[in-house]
Structure 1
């Protein structure tokens, strides 16, 4: 096939609705962790196994494992033919799209074209749009689940997909579960509309249970929401019911463990998580949850004066708990260095508490190099690292620089407020002992700037420049402030 023909084939492939044309690509997901999660889903023989095979084919292809990708797609096709014979054509659109892309990457262009031909035959009666795909609920729904399995930056898009799938198929359990799940997750992310508004996931999780009273994962997710709403009786009943129905599903065990940890029953949570880990030994999330459980026990023990006595059992137990925390938090991001930000920050905090400053330094340094993470993650990283360098490493320049960066990410979270208060306290203390401290004056200027007190900010920056002439940061801030005042006066 000539280069022109290859380019024309690529144009057709780009029109498809499948994993290769949806948003998350190699640079946006931790492929190894995704592979483990999908393999677990397949080996556990969970619902919608064909979708897991389909997405695993995409992951294998990104890793260059083309033969494995073809095997995954053949398995997905086999499952669909066996379990959804009457709906096969509607459900195979994404599989055939993935087949076409994998063959294209293998250089098998004739085979890729053959799958495009199959798609054209299938999609023609289903769509008035592009020749090679059809925007039907089955496509929107599977896209929603694919985005939901990736990273939080794609949750809003996943929500839109489930909404579109439900417009035409409102009683579909799978799409209702996807929609409820994405709402549940978005409500936990600061700054999202779902986080600011009254919870909608409760209503939709109840809807899932109306459609399928045996959906145990919906039960535990609903229990966690009811726990937040202080509806403890129903929440406890739902968790117990879910564990009776499904005692070997890691996601149910994990969320039940989270429920019990929040209820301060840490030992029960640990038991459930260890059971889940036996089933899914590579699960990053299970290790993270176990790390949090051991940290709860550790912090309680640290408060006990006996833990400081090297001769006491409490001292030895404290050392064991430090090791447990470090092990599980470390395992939690072993395969998720780009996405498991919280686990890395938790490990850094444990290392700081244990006096392992070099290890904490290494973790913070790696996190500060991330260039594709949510702004609130970067805000947290800058705050935590800033406090570490300021108070533990006694490096004022590095610490204050990072606190200022956290403050300049203008998402007004608790983290932003903490950065503001730490910077304000530090600047006040410095100026009390030395009113001419240019670094502290510059920090005061930024603090005033952040709360839109422009005249005070200008005064502080001008004063800072008297003692540090030519400082580019202060000159730039002054220029920006003066221009904004001129613009306001011109209105």
Structure 2
């Protein structure tokens, strides 16, 4: 292990000779940096995120967040600035983090500085200010000395958990493990209880998964988090959504409480809107979302949610038209239907202007292009999203099913539809799309057999389908 004193001697030796840091000294410094526990050693990979979109999300959270843990957002922003190669801004963010920690801990050095100082050390290393880098390594060592040696620190696990949770969905499982470790060290800490409940809730609903009441672990975790952290309106909204998903009317109480606490907090309002939309209160959802988007006009999530509301209203209106025999009312509804379709398209397009890699917004936009009979635009949108690197199995499954549906109903190409339904079904991830692909394939093959009952290929495919199921 390279000690700080040994590293100092190497740096001072280089300084005395009047040359830049030697290769051996730089390597020694790098080894010390790799032992730090901070954003730079947590393997938050650039390929898994859009740094511009992540930066915007973090700025929005920082602007509206009321918490003593606001310094964590600044620490994370410093790392995002590193991803973008802007080290001057990274240092400014770390200075802000340090100020926040001092405000909350006026008595002096404590564990909350460990991640901040680790980030400082890495940023200065990338800026080739090696002496400053070593100085912050020294600060980290001093804190550990006060703690009586290197040990597990709840604040580090908790901050890592929140960072992984905010980075992207592929990191949720690791975030869950971090919050578990933080809670082993500080079992009653409200922030770690909230983080753990949040990540378990997200994993249970990841990519549209459904969680049976008997398998639902997040419900009690969310209740406990609300009890320990009653001033957090967001965790109340998550509890409301979980209760709603389990068909409990109790959720409405928590949504109302959360709204009273933070009526102008966009991060909360998006969950309130989801609750209203699922409760068929679509106009209420739209009202809430438009209030939120006025505060954060470039939020892809909010624009997508508004698009989903117009999409829902569109299909409800379409159902009314086909179920209504009154010619006058039908004409009136057709005009309304056209407006709803335009609005859905408008907001899905706005979503993709804010975030070009938003997979589910591409799928929704392509589907609504189909409804608008803009088949070329729909094809282009499906092809664009399929070309994205690093698509998850769940994302591929949803794209394949929807593309198959588009091929079957709008392009009248059952053979192409079958190919995409098959690709969706072959991804062994339980989901609504997989079930729908299985039903669609069964229907396609059985329909084909009515026209050509002696076709051995169709019989074979149907048998193979039954075996897969």
TM-score after normalising by structure 2: 0.87
1:184 positional shift? 1.5
Please tell me whether the aligned partners of residues 30 and 335 of structure 1 are also in contact (alpha carbons under 8 angstroms).
no
Please tell me whether the aligned partners of residues 191 and 229 of structure 2 are also in contact (alpha carbons under 8 angstroms).
no
SS in 2 for 1:107: coil
* CA offsets 1:228-264 (integer angstroms, 9 cap, x no match): 23331x3222222221121111122121122122222
* CA offsets 1:172-193 (integer angstroms, 9 cap, x no match): 1111111111121112126989
Please tell me whether the aligned partners of residues 257 and 268 of structure 1 are also in contact (alpha carbons under 8 angstroms).
yes
Partner of residue 66, structure 1: 87
Give the unaligned 5+ runs of structure 2.
Answer: 1-20
Partner of residue 318, structure 1: 337
1:169 maps to which of 186, 204, 212: 186
Q: Residues 138-287 of structure 1: matches in 2 within 5 Å?
A: 138-189=155-206, 197-232=214-249, 234-287=250-303
Is the counterpart of residue 373 in structure 1 residue 394 in structure 2?
no
* CA offsets 1:134-172 (integer angstroms, 9 cap, x no match): 530000000010011122221111111111111121221
Please tell me whether the aligned partners of residues 386 and 403 of structure 1 are also in contact (alpha carbons under 8 angstroms).
yes
* CA offsets 1:430-459 (integer angstroms, 9 cap, x no match): 3443467676466446425524xxxxxxxx
Counterparts in 2 of 1:359 and 1:114: CA distance versus 1, 3 Å:
same
* Higher alpha-carbon deviation: 369-378 or 146-155: 369-378
2:374 maps to which of 338, 341, 356: 356
1:62 positional shift? 0.4
Separation of aligned partners in 2, 1:92 and 1:281: 34
Counterparts in 2 of 1:422 and 1:194: CA distance versus 1, 3 Å:
closer
Counterparts in 2 of 1:337 and 1:126: CA distance versus 1, 3 Å:
farther
Residues paired across the two proteins, number: 445
Separation of aligned partners in 2, 1:173 and 1:252: 18
Counterparts in 2 of 1:309 and 1:149: CA distance versus 1, 3 Å:
farther
* CA offsets 1:397-456 (integer angstroms, 9 cap, x no match): 5433222221221224332222222223323333443467676466446425524xxxxx
Is the counterpart of residue 92 in structure 1 residue 109 in structure 2?
no
Partner of residue 78, structure 1: 99
Please tell me whether the aligned partners of residues 191 and 411 of structure 1 are also in contact (alpha carbons under 8 angstroms).
no
Please tell me whether the aligned partners of residues 407 and 416 of structure 2 are also in contact (alpha carbons under 8 angstroms).
yes
SS in 2 for 1:160: helix
Give the unaligned 5+ runs of structure 1.
Answer: 452-491
Separation of aligned partners in 1, 2:93 and 2:142: 23
Partner of residue 420, structure 2: 402
Please tell me whether the aligned partners of residues 127 and 135 of structure 1 are also in contact (alpha carbons under 8 angstroms).
no
Is the counterpart of residue 37 in structure 1 residue 54 in structure 2?
no
1:46 positional shift? 2.6
Partner of residue 457, structure 1: none
1:66 positional shift? 1.5
1:27 maps to which of 47, 58, 65: 47
* Higher alpha-carbon deviation: 418-427 or 298-307: 298-307
SS in 1 for 2:110: helix
SS in 1 for 2:196: helix
SS in 2 for 1:52: helix
Partner of residue 104, structure 1: 125
Partner of residue 9, structure 1: 29
Please tell me whether the aligned partners of residues 32 and 335 of structure 1 are also in contact (alpha carbons under 8 angstroms).
no
SS in 2 for 1:248: coil
Separation of aligned partners in 1, 2:107 and 2:377: 57
* Higher alpha-carbon deviation: 14-23 or 345-354: 14-23
TM-score after normalising by structure 1: 0.83
Separation of aligned partners in 2, 1:308 and 1:73: 66
